[in-house]
Amino acid sequence: MPYRFLEDAPVADVGFVASGDTLAACFQAAADATLAVMLGNPEQLEARQEVQLHVEADTRELALLRFLEEFIYYKDAHGLLLRATAVRVTDGGDGWQVDATAAGEPIDPSRHLLAADAKAVTLHRLQVARIDGGAWEATVVLDI
Amino acid sequence: MGDADKPRGAWRQQAVRLGDALWEIPPTAKAGMRVSARIYATPQLLAEMDDGVFEQVTNVAMLPGIVGHAFCMPDGHWGYGFPIGGLAAMDPERGVISPGGIGFDINCGMRLVRTNLTYDEIRDRVPALIDALYQRVPAGVGARGLLRLTDAEFRAVALRGARWCVEQGYGWPEDLERIEERGAIAGADPACVSQRALERGRQQVGTLGSGNHYLEIQVVRPENVFDARAAAAMGIDLPYQVCIMFHCGSRGFGHQIASDYVQRFLPLMERKFGIQLPDRDLACAPFSSAEGQAYFAAMKCAMNMSFANRQVILHRIREVFLDVLGRDARSLGLETVYDVCHNTAKLEEHEVNGRRRRLLVHRKGATRAFAPGMPDVPAAYRAIGQPVIIGGSMETGSYLLHGVATGAQAFFTTAHGSGRTMSRHAAKRQFHGKQLERDLAQRGIYVRTVSYAGLAEEAGAAYKDIDAVVAATAAAGLSAPVVRFTPIGNVKG
């Protein structure tokens, strides 16, 4: 699994480290981790609806934060749980852009093992960095 | 070694005991501290606090315009920027406003509702009541309320809070008298709120949320009445009287407003305002700046949405009790005792060094506890002091307290809950939700939950001892206990 939950996150919340061979794969793993915080059986999520996501930010970290915020926004505003299916991260020189396709379905308590309702992506320990071997690793703490 | 290189626990060692339940870290402890940091705790509670509390409360002491001290309450634990249990009063002219001093769940708070019922009268009906409440008060991930609001209606909620609800028939006029700010804080401006925030919150009025949010039916055992006069003034005067308590906030609406403004303040803090702080979670703006005022007006929208959320939940409780018990809410005496805010910044008048001053008081995971005689305490409670509701875990019980004159030492503020000691991840590994549900049932607590994983995360052992927290607030002179509640039924988000 390209993410693991942090043992030393703030006690009331949830943190994780997501990784990937590319920045896009790392962002996608972070989106999977965010979904897994909210849904106990993410493998049961069916791709009934598709959504195009686009975010921009001055830094790589804020680009990840805003990308993950999209999943929280769709959960609250549209009652949709989503998984990122294709992610592209680009550095346009004057800022970062994330374009993604996400697919999922409306929240259905009869089939979905609902877990924690993520409130926000925090700046706490937020980091996106290269690790040994050139892969990428992101540290994220979600407010619960 | 520079301060940034010091281990997080270094600040704990600097705490000097000032009283039975009060410790101080002097401003000389860390470069940049403008005032001292004060932590309310017994030695036991202090030892249980995580290192993050000490680092964060000393960081709060660095905020421009802070007045008096940076504080942490006895239930304090690690938060973002401010610790949970954090308190800081700012000079409105020279000081800042910080979303990290308020929290993501703006105006998360508690409401306590009394009844004329005793435990014997409903003992057999508790499962039916909890089952019906579980249906009528949606909880859990992305839960939507039964109230379908248009965009214009939701903006009215943001402006008029619980008052809007009462106008629409979701409550009684007297409910408003027993809510902080009478259920609607002035100065809210939906124009300062993003479309995303409006979209996230619009369908969530009347929902509980998840995490540590809950709705509980409780009993007051005679041996748990500590101040009968105050209890009677608050409508609690029957042996084994049934009360209802719930904890929730401004849902996705408040969360988005906090996120929006943290991101807006972050690039401006140093570049525009020249503010340097050791933690970006303390992102802030001068209160008097256009940006600071915009956040203040947006935050008030979330405060009002939260007041409305709790008002609609009370309306659903009244409907459920009528449906299940066949008696209307008036005859059951289903009256609001009080509604307190946990996560706010408010302009208040306080005495500092013998002078009355208007201050912007940030409370994050902390409860206002006004003393007897203060004008903002409802007339019915003015001789007693403001009711304070401190929620414990679903296993251990909760408290009703009142504000006291000695609370002036901390801008009339006290604790808000029992405070976590174990991470969610660790609790989930240690406890099993379904087993916990069975154990609670054996102890006479009927639980309905959206999420067994969430239930496990909220196990009583993941929290501090609520009795110890309340005793610390009393020993410190922040608030005085009135009654202790024992849970008999719980809806868990």
- Answer whether B324's CB lies under 8 Å from B215's CB: no
> Residue B3 pLDDT more than 80?
no
CA proximity to A26, closest of A81, A64, A52: A64
What mean pLDDT is predicted for residues B99-125?
97
For B256, name the nearest residue in chain A, comparing CA atoms only. A120
Which pLDDT value is given to residue B450?
Answer: 86
What mean pLDDT is predicted for residues B360-382?
97
Which pLDDT value is given to residue B4?
Answer: 57
Among A44-48, B187-191, B460-464, the minimum mean pLDDT is found in B460-464
Q: Cβ neighbours of residue A126 under 8 Å, at least 6 residues apart?
A: A61, A64, A65, A139, A140, A141
Whole-number percent of chain B with pLDDT over 90? 87
Q: Looking at the complex, does the CB of residue A73 fall below 8 Å from at least one CB of chain B?
A: yes
Which pLDDT value is given to residue B402?
Answer: 98
Global pTM?
A: 0.96
Amino acid, res. B110:
M
Which pLDDT value is given to residue B7?
Answer: 60
**Residue B366 tokens, joined:** 């902390």
Could you report the per-residue pLDDT of B209-251, keeping only the tens digit for each? 888 899 999 999 999 999 999 999 999 999 999 999 999 999 9
Angle between helices B290-325 and B251-271 (to 10 degrees): 170
**Residue B168 tokens, joined:** 């629409």
Residue A16: beta bridge partners? A5, A140
CA proximity to B70, closest of B329, B357, B312, B364: B364
Q: What is the dihedral of CA B340, B341, B346, B348, to 10 degrees?
A: 20
Distance from CA of A144 to the nearest CA of B (A): 6
> Residue B347 pLDDT more than 70?
yes
What mean pLDDT is predicted for residues B76-81?
92
Per-chain mean pLDDT for chain B: 95
Could you report the per-residue pLDDT of B292-321, keeping only the tens digit for each? 999 999 999 999 999 999 999 999 999 999
Q: How far apart are CA B248 and CA B222, in angstroms?
A: 28
- Answer whether B112's CB lies under 8 Å from B337's CB: yes
pLDDT in 10s for each residue of chain A, 144 residues:
699 998 877 777 899 999 999 999 999 999 999 999 999 889 989 999 999 999 999 999 999 999 999 999 999 999 999 999 999 999 978 899 999 999 999 999 889 988 889 999 999 999 999 998 889 999 999 998
Please work out, in degrees rounded to the nearest 5, the angle formed at the alpha carbon of residue B254 by the alpha carbons of A75 and B77.
100
Token pair 């008060």: residue: B137
DSSP assigned state of A128: E
Q: Say if the Cβ atoms of B425 and A10 lie within 8 Å.
A: no
Which pLDDT value is given to residue B2?
Answer: 58
Q: Looking at the complex, does the CB of residue A77 fall below 8 Å from at least one CB of chain B?
A: yes
Whole-number percent of chain B with pLDDT over 70? 98
Which pLDDT value is given to residue B5?
Answer: 60
Distance from CA of A120 to the nearest CA of B (A): 6
CA proximity to A79, closest of B202, B73, B87: B202
- Answer whether B204's CB lies under 8 Å from B252's CB: yes
CA proximity to B416, closest of B64, B61, B26, B71: B71
Q: How far apart are CA B476 and CA B455, in angstroms?
A: 33
CA proximity to A124, closest of A5, A7, A13: A13
In three-state secondary structure terms, A62 is helix
Among B3-12, B15-24, B45-54, B433-442, the minimum mean pLDDT is found in B3-12
Catalytic residue among B350, B416, B425, B432: B416
Q: What is the dihedral of CA A26, A74, B157, B265, to 10 degrees?
A: 20
Spell out which residues of chain B touch residue A119, defining contact as CB-CB under 8 Å: 104-105, 211, 252, 255
> Residue B1 pLDDT more than 60?
no
Q: How far apart are CA B263 and CA A66, in angstroms?
A: 10
> Residue B486 pLDDT more than 90?
yes
Q: What is the ipTM of this complex?
A: 0.92
DSSP B44-110: HHHHHS-HHHHHHHHHHTTSTTEEEEEEEEEEEE--SSSPEEEEEEE-TTT-EE-GGGT-SSTT-EE
> Residue B359 pLDDT more than 90?
yes
Q: How far apart are CA B396 and CA B406, in angstroms?
A: 28
Confidence band of B10 (pLDDT split at 50, 70, 90): confident
Spell out which residues of chain A touch residue B204, defining contact as CB-CB under 8 Å: 76
- Answer whether B245's CB lies under 8 Å from B109's CB: no
Which pLDDT value is given to residue B404?
Answer: 98
Which pLDDT value is given to residue A1?
Answer: 60
What mean pLDDT is predicted for residues B384-407?
95
Q: Say if the Cβ atoms of B142 and A73 lie within 8 Å.
A: no
Could you report the per-residue pLDDT of B34-59, keeping only the tens digit for each? 999 999 999 999 999 989 999 999 99
Q: Looking at the complex, does the CB of residue A81 fall below 8 Å from at least one CB of chain B?
A: yes
- B77 is annotated as an active-site residue: no
CB atoms within 10 A of CB B482: 27
> Residue B101 pLDDT more than 70?
yes
Give Cα B306 to chain centroid, integer Å. Answer: 11
**Residue B481 tokens, joined:** 């206990």
- Answer whether B210's CB lies under 8 Å from B140's CB: yes
**Residue A94 tokens, joined:** 């004057």
CA proximity to B3, closest of B33, B37, B30: B30
